Amino acid sequence: MQDTALPAKRRAELVRHVRERGHATVAELAERFAVSMDTVRRDLDHLAERRLIARTHGGAMRTDELATADIPFDSRAAVHHQAKQAIGIAAAQLISNGETLIVNGGTTTLAVVRALAGKRDLTVVTNNLRLPPEIPQDAVRDLYVIGGSCRISSNVTIGPVTFADTQGISADTAVIGVGGISADGGLSTSNLQEAQMMRQMIDAGTRVVVVADSSKFGRSAFVHICGLDRVSVLVTDAPPPEDLAVALKDAEVELVTVG
């Protein structure tokens, strides 16, 4: 194939296409712009370096967290995959045998769950529909999935953080993935109903472990969840910017950074 547009013009149109659709594959973009797949890959790498899009395995997606509600779970899982794996391993090391965990939906919390191999007698409560088949079975004593409506694109249930015939639930540790974390806005996410659930999960946890890669720093997503003062530990993959670092210290949040 021959390039049908100057690189700068094609890349601008490519960014617009990805932002409008939310996500796109290399094959789709090659057909759309009548160029080779290698050309598309070079374009995507170039644009990702400039943070105009986010690179995924086999394609690209919008960088802003507001897009994630409409982007398939597997596409989001491919973004910052290595960082999420490292965060998951570090966060799992904070969990002790016999704990009760409450875990929200998302790709980073799923990385935590996968890293719980070797733990024992955990009680786990979650709205993450991907969690049951992913958690090491030897680690679990009891597993409860919160009911409600099913949000297919995110692989989560949406509903009250409670069960029938109970006055409420509590957990040793709430493991929470978020859409944004900022000095002024605290924790935020892209969906109103999920934010309400996450707030209830945080209220249920004696300790709150937030897992977020560094792309979430300085970002305020659509819905505010809570302030940094509700967070016990932040596990991330890079040092936060100065204003966020100061805010975390003022809020007495323990910072665990994996590199």
At 58, phi and psi to the nearest 5?
A: 90, 10
pLDDT confidence of residue 58: 76
- Mean of the pLDDT values across residues 126-143? 96
- Mean of the pLDDT values across residues 62-80? 54
pLDDT confidence of residue 66: 44
18-22, 221-225, 238-242: the lowest-pLDDT one? 18-22
247 vs 53: CA distance, rounded Å = 28
Report the predicted TM-score, pTM, of the whole model to 2 decimal places.
Answer: 0.74
The residue length of the chain stands at 259
126 vs 138: CA distance, rounded Å = 17
* One-letter amino acid of 95: I
- Tens of pLDDT, residue by residue over 210-234, are 999 998 898 877 789 999 999 999 9
* Strand arrangement of the beta sheet that strand 223-226 belongs to: 180-182, 186-189, 223-226
Partners of 205 in beta bridges: 171
- Tens of pLDDT, residue by residue over 23-48, are 788 888 999 999 999 999 999 988 88
Higher-pLDDT residue of 108 and 154 is 108
Q: Is the pLDDT of residue 183 over 60?
A: yes
Q: Is the pLDDT of residue 107 over 80?
A: yes
Local structure of 239: helix, strand or coil: coil
- Mean of the pLDDT values across residues 228-250? 96
Cα dihedral 209, 111, 99, 97 sign:
negative
At 19, phi and psi to the nearest 5?
A: -65, -35
